[in-house]
């Protein structure tokens, strides 16, 4: 009889694909702790490679200490595989009609862990935190050319508010 179980395939467990269900058994999300700053900074350097590890460590420490920012981390077993940084913005946020607004400042999941629901979990944590801070809306941005991020935002229920091109010019003395 045991040999038969090797041949059984399940498509859904409690309405969730078996692939996603199995992965969700091994991961947990947490609010960032001060001792996590270097691990988060290493992942942040993968997302923003133009920053040095030292710069990212300093910035992550500031974010963790801030009352208006939060970082959530995602672990698969004991490995940190992703993070999301969210904040509360009190200035005008493109496409919103209230203040304060929760804002997804950055999100990163290691490539081999993508498309498994981890980003959704991180954004859900961020949205719940923003609600606890009195926010009625949640916003984000991404580079126009980052198709994967645009698709992720659309899957997560974000509506595109606008597309901007920013310009800068040096002024002569």
Cα dihedral 124, 149, 112, 43 in deg (nearest 10): -80
- Domains of the chain by residue range: 23-155
pLDDT score of 46 more than 70: yes
5, HSE (Cβ side, Cα atoms, 13 Å): 2
Please, which residues have CB within 8 angstroms of residue 110's CB and are 6 or more apart in sequence? Answer: 43, 46, 81, 82
> What CATH homologous superfamily does 23-155 map to?
Gcn5-related N-acetyltransferase (GNAT) (3.40.630.30)
Q: How far is it, in rounded angstroms, from Cα 49 to Cα 84?
A: 16
Higher local confidence (pLDDT), 8 or 76:
76
The reported pLDDT for the residue numbered 168 is 86
Read off the pLDDT of residues 50-95 as tens digits, 9 standing for 90 and up.
999 999 999 999 999 999 999 999 998 889 999 999 999 999 999 9
Q: Which residues pair with 103 in a beta bridge?
A: 87, 139
Q: Which residues pair with 113 in a beta bridge?
A: none
Read off the pLDDT of residues 123-144 as tens digits, 9 standing for 90 and up.
999 999 999 999 999 999 999 8
Strands 138-140 and 101-109: parallel
Look up the pTM and report it: 0.81
């Amino acid at each position: 009889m045991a040999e038969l179980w090797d041949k059984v395939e399940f498509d859904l467990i409690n309405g969730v694909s078996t692939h996603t269900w199995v992965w969700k058994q091994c991961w947990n999300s947490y609010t960032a702790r001060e001792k996590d700053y270097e691990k988060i900074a290493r992942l942040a350097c993968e997302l923003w490679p133009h920053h040095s590890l030292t710069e990212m460590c300093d910035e992550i420490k500031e974010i963790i200490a801030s009352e208006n920012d939060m970082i959530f981390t995602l672990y698969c077993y004991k490995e940190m595989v992703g993070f999301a940084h969210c904040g509360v913005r009190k200035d005008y946020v493109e496409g919103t009609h209230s203040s304060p607004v929760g804002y997804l400042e950055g999100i990163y999941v290691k490539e081999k862990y993508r498309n498994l629901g981890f980003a959704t979990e991180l954004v859900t944590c961020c949205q719940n935190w923003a609600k606890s801070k009195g926010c009625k809306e949640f916003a984000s941005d991404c580079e126009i050319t980052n198709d994967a991020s645009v698709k992720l935002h659309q899957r997560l229920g974000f509506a595109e508010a606008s597309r901007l091109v920013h310009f800068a010019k040096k002024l002569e003395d």
